[in-house]
Structure 1
Amino acid sequence: MSQTNPIRTRIAPSPTGFLHLGTARTALFSWAYARHYGGQFVLRIEDTDVARSTQDSVDQIIASMKWLGLDYDEGPIYQMQRLDRYQQVVDQMLAEGTAYRCYCSPEELDAMREGQRARGEKTGYDGRWRPEPGKVLPPVPAGVNPVIRFKNPPEGDVTWNDLVKGPITINNREIDDLIIVRPDGVPTYNFCVVVDDWDMKISHVFRGDEHVNNTPWQINIFNALGAPLPQFGHFPVILGDDGLKLSKRRGAVSVTNYEDKGYLPEAMLNYLSRLGWSHGDEELYSREQLIAWFDGTHCNKSPAQWDPAKLEWVNSHYMKLADDGRLAELVKVQLAKRDIQADSARLKPMAALFKDRCSTTQALADWLLMYFAEVQPSADDLAAHVTDSVKPALATLADKLSAIEWNKAAISAAIKETIAAHGLKMPQLAMPVRALVCGRVQTPSVDAVLELFDKEIVIKRLRSI
């Protein structure tokens, strides 16, 4: 695109709940597309659903965007702060005859639809208050606040070349005269989104395919206003484990929930981008690579399947690459949730030692609990490994460890001396040591694990039998 016609995308969540995974994916694709072409990305808060919108939801949306690293160039822009602008456009449309007042009561509308169903007709507004040449409208009822409806073209087709789905055509007879302002004077979604995208010069609208049916109305409103049309791209839904659509009301957890569970934002970004888009067979790639590759092509037309195991695999990859100091800070937060206060400097070498075994920082915190809380070896492990024949060696090792300087080399030497003195092999001593000190029999190298304990704790646990 030229400098006079820049790429501008947006994400426009409704603050009626958390930022769920589908909206996060849409935000990611919109952001990546703008960044690929050197354009701008806008955050807009669509808060005209006054009864359900909350500041907590706004805060959560912004926190989720920040965690994912989806930086925006403008915003957040709030629709409820733009009511004067919407009124200005409504007045223009009323004056030009592209909108009109409708005084139907809810009861009339219900009766209208019931009659249509009884006659086997498609339900919809019948246009009784729609002005037409030579038409006599009903008398205006007293004390009724009207809605304002868009005067949708009665004939013809609405066609657009969807960036994801390809050409889509919907006949205007399939849609009725949309309400654009409620009786309380608050404008509706399909109207506000057009005015916003027009004013904000949005060039490309990416969103979920639940909005496909809204698009004909919006295109018609754009045309009625003489506003330039953005290009539209509708991504298929994300399906849950059960094959049903993830949504706020069914199954979808928030983005921040994954942060709480110990996933890394770079892993979530990588995984989300693969739900509906691909670059060859690439599975793991950086943020910079995603921006370089995401040109709007290779988007899937079929629904994506949410796969928790695949997400864990991706997160494991990024756990291995993560800086140890950063992991220490994240694990510190996880431990604090369990009322354990730990020093970041002490956690750093622990994170380095155990991160290869963990898929999340929550799992890493599970490993490190043994350093800060009492452990309880399983009865099976004690029976299998802490036998009467090995107990003398454990006592010898405790004595040797109590006399050494506490470092990995000295610990290793004490273990080897104990093994030699009692005629054992390494696993015969290492396994019971792990069971007693760590509460589990599978760990990294036992000398490396013991070095990170307080010396007194190791000796106490070895002598607990």
Structure 2
Amino acid sequence: MSKKVRVRFAPSPTGPLHIGGVRTALFNYLFAKKHGGDFVLRIEDTDQNRFVEGAEEYITEALEWCGIPFDEGVGKDGGFGPYRQSERKHLYKQYADELIEKGHAYYAFDTADSLDAHRKDHEAKGKTFIYNWHNRLKLTNSLALSAEEVAAKLDAGEPYVIRFKSPQDEILHLQDIVRGDVKIDTNILDDKILFKSDGMPTYHLANIVDDHLMEITHVIRGEEWLPSLALHYLLYRSFEWEAPQFAHLPLILKPTGKGKLSKRDGAKFGFPVFPKEWNDTKEGQLYMGFKDEGYFPDALINFLAFLGWNPGTEQEIFSLDALIETFELERINKAGARFDIKKADWFNQQYMQLKSNESIAIAFKENQAELADIDINYIEMVVDLIKERASFTKDLWSLSHFFFVAPTEYDEKARKKALKEGTGDILNKLVEIIEATEDYSVETLQTNIKGWITDNEIGFGKVMQPLRFALAGALSGPDLFQIMFMIGKQETIKRIQKVIDML
């Protein structure tokens, strides 16, 4: 690539950043970093009616938490700012005027009422009203009016919009990195509004002008923008600018595989679809976030990378650096990617195993009030014993509470299974063996207790189940002798004695 790669992620601050938006940002980031390029964050806030307070801050904070920070954007000027479209609105009118001068756009003075009348007339005839080549000369615009009539309307301050003059009888062959050759008949295109009567550009004009001025080389965006590709291509051609390369990403589908994943799916099925928690005060709804549900950001990124892309191998675990090295736009699928929260959980479990015991222990202690006064080194030892069974940090307490506090409640099914006739005698003998064990280590405890079981030809279950029940209050958990060593001799005896007293 001769030109420096520059990509942009351009969300609108109309609400929280959906997980589909995060994936779009991720693919832009990976491509930019793969080719030593720049990742630009542009805030497209021209639609002030839909602006949501706090949404822009949410977007930037979410990207930072995910570990995909932007190189340029609000607060990080790379020489192409400003990066909010609302602060660039003075730029767009001159480009709309340029298109009029070149004959690629025109003034349209049609009122909302007159256009509505045309639509209803078409509906009554079983047709669809499209403002384009087949009827524009019959409507109220600068193509149908004389120059004097147009000048008079402009001088009188009549409201107008500027529409793009889409070409007639042309077949466009547009190249998309993901889709290949995209064929479009221009006769089906409508004359989109480029500049509104309120003096603001529409998305289409602002988007093209900004991408050109910011020297964007590749536009990587969601499939929902594919219908706009023809207009955007025609705008580049009309301005006589070099168009960027386009890549339209597949949809992220509902868990059922049918339809686009929405925020309502998350609320309905109880899983997050936003990177961070979002409190929608207008709806009175608190939406879950991956961060707040305990997902690791690098696990989430790994999960998202596989929604619509694959490396061509069986490997699934990729660090961010490995993703950058491996990522190719050509390996993005055309078909939609089904969102599977169980797969996200699996990735998180895999990353749990890759994290250091120290980092997990610190997070565990911060989030569990009962551990406030516990030595971090002890917590690390516990984490080492249990983390392979955890998918989230929040799982750790249920898996390890007996390392820190004696059971106060006992699992009823476990009680029936573990405590039989003669269990009291077995537990009393275990207390004798433990008291007599001077070298209180995992190895010695294991040798002494297993030796006694073997010598007396007792079934292992008859001994180990009540012992585990006494120590943990249930019949699951890590190695019993590790538990005994960790909680110490006196605490071990105390817990066994409590069950003996129960019997």
Match status 1:267 vs 2:299: yes
Partner of residue 476, structure 2? 442
* Residue range with higher mean Cα deviation, 88-97 or 192-201: 88-97
Task: After TM superposition, list the pairs within 5 Å mapping 1:156-167 onto structure 2.
Answer: 156-167=170-181
**Which amino acid in structure 2 is aligned with residue 385 of structure 1?**
A
Identity rate, percent: 31
CA contact (8 A) 1:332 1:342 kept: no
SS in 2 for 1:352: helix
Summarize the Cα distance change of 1:411–1:206 in structure 2 as closer, same or farther, 3 Å threshold: same
Aligned counterparts of 1:70 and 1:166: Cα–Cα separation in 2: 28
Aligned counterparts of 2:84 and 2:446: Cα–Cα separation in 1: 63
Task: After TM superposition, list the pairs within 5 Å mapping 1:398-409 onto structure 2.
Answer: 408=442
Give the deviation of 1:334 after TM superposition.
4.4
Partner of residue 303, structure 1? 336
Partner of residue 185, structure 2? 171
Higher relative contact order, structure no. (Cα contacts within 8 Å, ≥ 6 residues apart): 1
Give the deviation of 1:164 after TM superposition.
0.3
Q: Aligned match of 1:431 in 455, 465, 468? A: 465
Match status 1:109 vs 2:109: no
Task: After TM superposition, list the pairs within 5 Å mapping 1:250-329 onto structure 2.
Answer: 250-251=264-265, 253-256=273-276, 257-284=289-316, 285-329=318-362
Summarize the Cα distance change of 1:399–1:13 in structure 2 as closer, same or farther, 3 Å threshold: farther
Summarize the Cα distance change of 1:130–1:298 in structure 2 as closer, same or farther, 3 Å threshold: same
Q: Aligned match of 2:412 in 371, 374, 379? A: 379
* Residue range with higher mean Cα deviation, 133-142 or 158-167: 133-142
Partner of residue 129, structure 1? 140
Match status 1:209 vs 2:223: yes
Partner of residue 39, structure 2? 41
Summarize the Cα distance change of 1:434–1:260 in structure 2 as closer, same or farther, 3 Å threshold: farther
Aligned counterparts of 1:378 and 1:348: Cα–Cα separation in 2: 27
Aligned counterparts of 1:105 and 1:398: Cα–Cα separation in 2: 92
Q: Give unpaired runs (5+ residues) of structure 1.
A: none
Aligned counterparts of 2:234 and 2:42: Cα–Cα separation in 1: 22
CA contact (8 A) 1:16 1:53 kept: yes
Give the deviation of 1:410 after TM superposition.
6.6
What is the TM-score when the length of structure 1 is the normalising length? 0.86
Partner of residue 26, structure 1? 24
Structure 1, residues 173-204: CA drift from partner, whole Å, max 9, x if none? 22222223334333322222112211111111
CA contact (8 A) 2:171 2:186 kept: yes
Give the deviation of 1:133 after TM superposition.
6.5
Give the deviation of 1:217 after TM superposition.
1.6
Match status 1:86 vs 2:77: no
Aligned counterparts of 1:405 and 1:53: Cα–Cα separation in 2: 69
Aligned counterparts of 1:353 and 1:147: Cα–Cα separation in 2: 68
Give the deviation of 1:298 after TM superposition.
2.0
Give the deviation of 1:412 after TM superposition.
4.7
Match status 1:13 vs 2:11: yes
Structure 1, residues 411-439: CA drift from partner, whole Å, max 9, x if none? 65775587589874544333223334323
CA contact (8 A) 1:154 1:172 kept: yes
Aligned counterparts of 1:454 and 1:60: Cα–Cα separation in 2: 48
CA contact (8 A) 1:155 1:171 kept: yes
Aligned counterparts of 1:264 and 1:314: Cα–Cα separation in 2: 9
Partner of residue 229, structure 1? 243
CA contact (8 A) 1:158 1:219 kept: no
Aligned counterparts of 2:297 and 2:237: Cα–Cα separation in 1: 40
* Residue range with higher mean Cα deviation, 198-207 or 179-188: 179-188
Aligned counterparts of 1:60 and 1:369: Cα–Cα separation in 2: 35
* Residue range with higher mean Cα deviation, 431-440 or 86-95: 86-95
CA contact (8 A) 1:100 1:150 kept: yes
Aligned counterparts of 2:337 and 2:312: Cα–Cα separation in 1: 16
Aligned counterparts of 2:431 and 2:192: Cα–Cα separation in 1: 80
Aligned counterparts of 2:456 and 2:61: Cα–Cα separation in 1: 58
CA contact (8 A) 2:110 2:141 kept: no
**Which amino acid in structure 1 is aligned with residue 472 of structure 2?**
C
Summarize the Cα distance change of 1:387–1:166 in structure 2 as closer, same or farther, 3 Å threshold: same
What is the root-mean-square deviation of aligned Cα atoms in Å? 3.3
Give the deviation of 1:316 after TM superposition.
2.4
**Which amino acid in structure 2 is aligned with residue 358 of structure 1?**
A
**Which amino acid in structure 2 is aligned with residue 6 of structure 1?**
K
Summarize the Cα distance change of 1:149–1:354 in structure 2 as closer, same or farther, 3 Å threshold: same
Summarize the Cα distance change of 1:290–1:51 in structure 2 as closer, same or farther, 3 Å threshold: same
SS in 1 for 2:7: strand
SS in 2 for 1:51: helix
Partner of residue 185, structure 1? 199
Structure 1, residues 433-456: CA drift from partner, whole Å, max 9, x if none? 333432331211112234444777
Match status 1:50 vs 2:48: yes
CA contact (8 A) 1:130 1:151 kept: no
* Residue range with higher mean Cα deviation, 165-174 or 146-155: 146-155
Partner of residue 363, structure 2? 330
Give the deviation of 1:96 after TM superposition.
4.9
Aligned counterparts of 2:228 and 2:489: Cα–Cα separation in 1: 67
Q: Aligned match of 1:360 in 392, 414, 433? A: 392
CA contact (8 A) 1:375 1:438 kept: no
Give the deviation of 1:120 after TM superposition.
2.8
Aligned counterparts of 1:375 and 1:75: Cα–Cα separation in 2: 55
Give the deviation of 1:229 after TM superposition.
0.5
Q: Give unpaired runs (5+ residues) of structure 2.
A: 75-82, 267-272, 277-288
CA contact (8 A) 2:160 2:197 kept: yes
* Residue range with higher mean Cα deviation, 352-361 or 405-414: 405-414
